[in-house]
Amino acid sequence: TGKIATAYIALGSNIGNREDNLNKAIEMLKQNDEVEVNKISSYLNTAPVGYTDQPDFLNAVVEVKTTLSPHKLLMVCSDIEKKLKRERIIHWGPRTIDLDILLYEDLVLNHEDLVIPHPRMHEREFVLKPLKEIAPKAFHPVLKKTIEDISL
User: Which residues here bind ligand GSY, judged by CB under 6 A?
Assistant: 12, 46-51, 57, 59, 92, 98, 100, 126
Nearest to 15 by CA among 66, 57, 62: 57
Is omega for the bond preceding 119 within 30 degrees of 0, making it cis? Answer: no
Residue closer to ligand GSY (CB basis): 46 or 66:
46
C-alpha 31/C-alpha 39 separation (Å) is 15
Nearest to 22 by CA among 49, 66, 68, 58: 58
Least distance to ligand GSY from the beta carbon of 20, Å?
16
Least distance to ligand GSY from the beta carbon of 17, Å?
16
Positions annotated as catalytic residues are: 86, 95, 98, 100
Residue closer to ligand GSY (CB basis): 46 or 96:
46
